[in-house]
Chain A
Amino acid sequence: MADLSIAVRQVGDVAVLLPAGFINAHTVLGFEEALEKLVQDGHYTILLNCKDLNYISSAGLGAIMGLIETVREHGGDILLSNLQDNVFTIFDTLGFTQLYRVFGDEGQALAAASPEQKG
């Protein structure tokens, strides 16, 4: 099994990205490219559904941080859902749960994202 696989699907105006496996310095390039492609294609509201993400290091956090200003400048956002405990701990330890909106599941995140798209 590959260390990281990434699936992307569109739900309304929200691009849902599902990383599965491990995001570390070895796999981060694929994750970064997937995020950057979404932004380049004009998808500025991105939901990271992390239900199958077992692990993320600072390399992966950096990839997300690198795009947050860009998407927000375009009226979008990066949302997070379905974080496993250890992944949540990493975000929370660094105070990133104040920077990103974190939801228990994808449905809650999509519901929160939709009003922004309309407004």
Chain B
Amino acid sequence: MASEVDHAQFRLIIPSQTRYLNLVTGLAKRASLVAGLDDATAAKVSIAVDEAVTNVILHAYHGEGEHSVELELRFTEEALEIHIWHSGQGIRGDQMVLPDPKEYIKHPRKGGLGLLLMSRFMDEVQFKSDEVSGRNECCLIKKIS
């Protein structure tokens, strides 16, 4: 019996290794174009996805490469949604502290910019945690105007 497939969404599971970042960002850029976004916006979406997946690999999984990162692309009439799931250390929305760019420029340092880029380049960035399954999610939404 053929299973029912929702053609407006699909998933990709990658190992938690930075060598696959280019693959994921390339996919995000192409998906953005398919969703109807322009080139410049597609580039921003790909950066946001890079930052989100990098955070999962380096911070949620502490650089351990034997875990999985699951991405789901959802195409709706209103938006492109990119959901990123992992089983590593989660971050709650209220823990998401964005650096002030003006302060950052006065006191340059490494790190802290990924979340800022994600929030600037996407319309919505949500962090969710499922205590039952132990999985965490980062949801990136770009509206199609």
Contacts and interface: CB of A to CB of B under 8 A. Distances in A.
Contacts of A57: 47, 50-51, 54, 114, 117
Contact of B120 (A22, A86, A93, A99): A93
A94 B47 CA distance: 13
Given A24-B22, A25-B21, A26-B18, A86 B43 contact: yes
Contacts, number: 77
Interface stretch (A9-17, A65-73, A106-114): A65-73
A45 B109 CA distance: 19
A95 interface: yes
B21 to A, nearest CB: 5
Q: Indicate the size class of the contact surface on chain A.
A: 20 to 34
B110 interface: yes
Interface string B93-106: 00000000110110
A85 B43 CA distance: 10
A55 B25 contact: yes
Contacts of B51: 57-58
Q: Interface SS of chain B: helix, strand, loop or mixed?
A: helix
Interface string A78-103: 00000001100110011110110000
Contact of A24 (B50, B116, B121): B50
Please provide the 5 A-B residue pairs with the shortest distance between their CB atoms, ordered closest to farther: A26-B18, A58-B113, A86-B43, A62-B110, A95-B101
Interface of B: 18-19, 21-22, 25, 40, 43-44, 46-47, 50-51, 54, 57-58, 101-102, 104-105, 108-111, 113-114, 116-117, 120-121
